[in-house]
């Protein structure tokens, strides 16, 4: 069956986001990446800090406290790197050849 001459041509490539006036940020939000408000970030860091302070009040061996503090700080740093989308950039760095 032959299409009439007035029919629009079929596009083989999907239109880009910019053709629809959409940015890449809109697309990321649509697929599940949501931005965390700064207030939530600060409250979370404050709660973690208070919990670390409370754990340090518990009488236990100094090395255990040090290890616990180290694990919590490393977890918070990794979480912050994920929040600010820096974890992907760090894993792309290679040392050596």
Q: Looking at the domain assignment, is residue 56 inside a domain?
A: yes
Q: What is the pLDDT of residue 88?
A: 75
Q: Spell out the long-range contacts of 75-81 with Cβ–Cβ below 8 A and sequence spacing 24 or more.
A: 76/45, 76/48
The pTM (predicted TM-score) of the whole model is 0.56
Q: Looking at the domain assignment, is residue 26 inside a domain?
A: no
Q: How many domains does the chain have?
A: 1
Q: Looking at the domain assignment, is residue 74 inside a domain?
A: yes
Look-up: residue for tokens 């040392």?
Answer: 95
Segment 50-61, tens digit of pLDDT:
999 998 999 999
Angle between helices 62-83 and 38-57 (to 10 degrees): 170
């Amino acid at each position: 069956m032959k299409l009439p001459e007035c029919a629009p041509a079929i596009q083989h490539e999907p239109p880009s986001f910019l053709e629809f006036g959409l940015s890449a940020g809109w697309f990321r939000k649509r697929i599940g990446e949501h931005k965390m408000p700064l207030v939530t970030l600060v409250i979370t860091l404050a709660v973690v800090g208070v919990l670390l302070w409370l754990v340090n009040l518990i009488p236990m061996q100094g090395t255990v406290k040090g290890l616990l503090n180290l694990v919590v700080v490393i977890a918070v740093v990794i979480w912050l790197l994920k929040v600010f989308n820096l974890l992907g950039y760090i894993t792309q760095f290679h040392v050596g050849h």
